[in-house]
Structure 1
Amino acid sequence: MRRVVGALAALVLLAAAVLGWLVAREPADGSAEDLSAADSGAAFVASAEVGDEVVAAAEEAAARVYTYSWRTLSDDRAAARQLLVAPVVDRYDRTMAGLAPGARRDHRVVTATVAGSGVVHAATTYARVLVFVNQRTTADDLDEPRTDLDRVLVTLTRVDGLWRVSELDAL
């Protein structure tokens, strides 16, 4: 039990350190609005409405991108691709192409659920959200279902009025 508590405490500290580092980092698009927020050393949220929008978009994207079934690979891929922009969509396509043969062979089903999330930065056209994703995997090659706990930094860009994923970084 002490090992589990120690491991969880270490994960929380690591997540806090990563979050602090991300807040202090210069944004990828280098916009003036984002630079001033990053220079302040604190999380920036343009408004409560923007914060709510980016959290919802990031959570939906993380769940869709990290969920797939051997039976519905094409549909799962199409649903996830709608939430992505280049070059993320290209990397996603390559990843799915690599996963597909094993998924079909082993009858793999991966279900991703969002355990929590938090806004790192949210401007009117650019945002970063840290999403905690639990992936439950069942497959013929597994004796019992496996659960993986992942942290994903989702970078979003507003495209034609909709938030789309412009970067996914597993932490």
Structure 2
Amino acid sequence: MTGNGAQRNYVRIAVASVAGIAIIALIAAVGLLFMDHREDEQVEQTRADATTAARELVVQMFAYDSDTADAKLHEALNRLTGDFKEQYKTVIETAIIPAVEGKQVNVSATVEAAGVTSAGEDDAVVLVYLNQLTTGPEFPNNPITASRLRVSLDRSDGEWLISGLEKI
């Protein structure tokens, strides 16, 4: 009976060990699935936030009128970064603002569609389909200009900033 009792104890220990290992493996698997799901949610939130930012910022950059172009376009500089910020500043100061001042020009901009083409934790590239409607005495036909833009964004201190823009 002593050999039989020892054998039963061995079986109990083996079953308990296997059950313990199975429980630990199950807990680890659930933890990994939760982390993966949480990571997916964060990626989706990043994509949504970057798309919203791109839509808003592109409109800020491309909608203006002759009375407020200087102030409005310079305000957009606050949401730009890097070399692109300086490039945009040069364009608005040397081309856009001088071209519209005192000419009763109004340019409205609407984003027809936008979608993320790539996203990291703190950067994203968003493809934006933009329509601009220009009105004023020099534009009797009210032309609409359609553009496809590749917008590069970087997140800094929780705020999305445009770091590059390419017309495609």
- TM-score with structure 2 setting the length: 0.71
Aligned residue in 2 for 1:118: 115
Q: Name the Cα RMSD after superposition.
A: 1.7
* Structure 2 residues not aligned, in runs of 5+: 1-40
> Following TM superposition, by how much is the alpha carbon of 1:105 offset from its aligned partner in structure 2, in angstroms?
4.1
Q: Is the 8 A contact 2:66 2:101 kept in 1?
A: yes
Matched, 1:70 2:66: yes
Q: Which ranges of 4 or more aligned residues in structure 1 deviate by more than 4 Å?
A: none
Match of 2:135 among 115, 134, 138: 138
Question: How many residue pairs were aligned?
Answer: 128
Unaligned runs of 5+ in 1: 1-44
Q: Which residue of 2 aligns with 1:107?
A: 104
TM-score by length of 1: 0.70
1:57 to 49, 53, 59: 53
* Partner deviation per Cα, 1:127-163 (whole Å, 9 max, x = no partner): 0000000000012211221101110100001111211
State the distance in 2 between where 1:68 and 1:62 align. Answer: 12
Report the alpha carbon displacement of residue 86 of structure 1 after superposing the two structures with TM: 2.1
Measured after TM superposition, the shift of residue 74 of structure 1 is: 2.4
In structure 2, distance between residues paired with 1:88 and 1:168: 8
Q: For residues 75 and 101 of structure 1, what CA distance do their matches in structure 2 show? A: 13
Separation in structure 1 between the aligned mates of residue 97 and residue 74 of structure 2, nearest angstrom = 14
- Between Structure 1 and Structure 2, the one with more helix by share is 2
Q: CA deviation at 1:106?
A: 2.6
- For 2:45, the aligned partner's letter is E
Rg comparison, structure with higher value:
2
Deviation for aligned residue 1:46 = 6.0
Aligned AA (2:114): S
